[in-house]
């Protein structure tokens, strides 16, 4: 009878006798550590996205004040005011800035798709080491400072650059009968803004498209050609529909940051027709109207996030229906 251990002692035996290091390894084998790892990005989003957003959102219901901090709430109920949102929808400057931002971002996204799709398709169909070399060339601009690349474009587009002088000479030679010009006006125009946005964000269109096109089953193309389809019909009926997820992902990666772009419109855009990113910066920094700047930021976030949420919901429903 003495050799029979108590039930509680038997249950607590092996784990209680493990060294500290062994006990930690046993904990790592459990599901708890996976939950801990998964929680890290949620904590990051909580402190660096949701919390700042709620601060900006709350600030949008305050009124501007010449003080530190430069805003205040009502002393009595209701403590918040809606003057900033009323001003947002009645002042033509803000509506114009939103329209210019959306227009420039949309044009840049379409141009990135037109330029990037053939490049992504060519990379996906490249063989061996050539694929890696082409991918490296796409990523190579990221090795240089973004601001430095924008300044390089400023040097090319300025009125006294060799590029502008060459275009001016070409224009005067071909169209000189209609009158000569001293230079081609490219700086401080929407053309310059869209051009540099396309150059800067083109890799964000190419890489998602490549990731999608690289996974396609090209035996479907061969089957379509065996059935009598021409190459352009194979692309229209097989390749293009299967690459729609990559197109949407690339379009979102280009359109969203391009809509709120600050550096490019500030350096090469028009001061009288600013994009919304520059207007937010001016409201925060120059005018010091933090409540109005917060209102513009909230409206821009809603304008960009709501369509994405609707698309994700539709995509999940379509995926569930296919499954």
Written as six digits, the tokens of 209 are 């498209």
**What is the Cα Rg of the chain in Å?**
28
Render pLDDT for 205-257 as a digit per residue (tens, 0 to 9): 999 999 999 888 888 877 888 787 788 888 888 888 888 888 988 999 999 99
pLDDT tens, position by position, 135-147: 999 999 889 889 9
pLDDT digits (tens, 9 = 90+) for 96-128: 999 999 999 999 999 999 999 999 999 998 888
Q: Which helix (H) or strand (E) holds 236?
A: none
Of the candidates 124, 96, 111, which has an alpha carbon nearest to the alpha carbon of residue 198?
111
Which helix (H) or strand (E) segment is 39 a member of? helix 32-45
Q: Give the E-state strand segments of the chain in sequence order.
A: 63-64, 71-72
pLDDT at 13 over 50: no
Q: How far apart are CA 293 and CA 60, in angstroms?
A: 8
19, 158, 255, 260, 278 from 151: Cα distances, Å: 61, 10, 22, 19, 18
State the chain's mean pLDDT as an integer.
84
Of these ranges, 50-54, 176-180, 197-201, the one predicted with the greatest mean pLDDT is 197-201
**CB under 8 Å to 185, separation ≥6 — which residues?**
159
What's CA 44's distance to the chain center, in Å?
19
Give the 3-state secondary structure of residue 209.
helix
Q: Which of 307, 271, 274, 293 lies closest to 98, judged by CA?
A: 274
The span from the first CA to the last CA of the chain, in angstroms, equals 61
pLDDT tens digit string along 64-107? Answer: 888 788 888 888 888 888 989 999 989 889 999 999 999 999 99
């Amino acid at each position: 009878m003495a050799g029979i251990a108590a039930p509680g002692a038997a249950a607590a035996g092996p784990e209680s006798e493990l060294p500290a290091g062994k006990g930690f390894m046993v904990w790592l084998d459990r599901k708890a550590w996976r939950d801990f790892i998964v929680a890290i990005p949620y904590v990051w989003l909580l402190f660096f996205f949701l919390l700042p957003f709620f601060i900006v959102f709350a600030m949008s219901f305050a009124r501007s004040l010449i003080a530190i901090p430069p805003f205040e709430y009502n002393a009595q109920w209701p403590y918040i005011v809606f003057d900033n949102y009323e001003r947002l929808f009645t002042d033509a400057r803000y509506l114009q800035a939103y329209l210019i931002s959306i227009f420039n971002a949309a044009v840049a996204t379409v141009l990135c798709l037109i330029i990037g799709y053939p490049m992504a398709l060519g990379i996906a169909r490249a063989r061996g080491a050539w694929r890696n070399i082409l991918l490296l060339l796409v990523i190579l601009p990221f090795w240089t400072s973004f601001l430095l690349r924008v300044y390089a474009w400023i040097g090319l587009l300025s009125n006294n650059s060799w590029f502008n002088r060459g275009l001016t000479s070409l224009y005067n030679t071909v169209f000189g009968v209609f009158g000569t010009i001293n230079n081609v006006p490219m700086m401080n125009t929407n053309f310059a803004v869209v051009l540099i946005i396309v150059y800067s964000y083109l890799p964000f269109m190419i890489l998602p498209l490549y990731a999608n096109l690289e996974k396609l089953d090209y035996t479907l193309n061969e089957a379509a050609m065996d059935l009598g389809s021409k190459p352009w019909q194979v692309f229209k009926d097989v390749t293009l529909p299967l690459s729609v997820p990559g197109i949407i992902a690339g379009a979102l990666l280009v359109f969203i940051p391009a809509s709120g772009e600050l550096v490019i419109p500030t350096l090469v855009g028009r001061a009288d027709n600013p994009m919304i990113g520059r207007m937010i910066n001016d409201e925060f920094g120059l005018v010091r109207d933090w409540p109005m700047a917060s209102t513009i930021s909230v409206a821009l976030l809603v304008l960009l996030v709501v369509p994405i949420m609707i698309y994700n919901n539709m995509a999940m429903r379509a995926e569930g229906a296919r499954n």
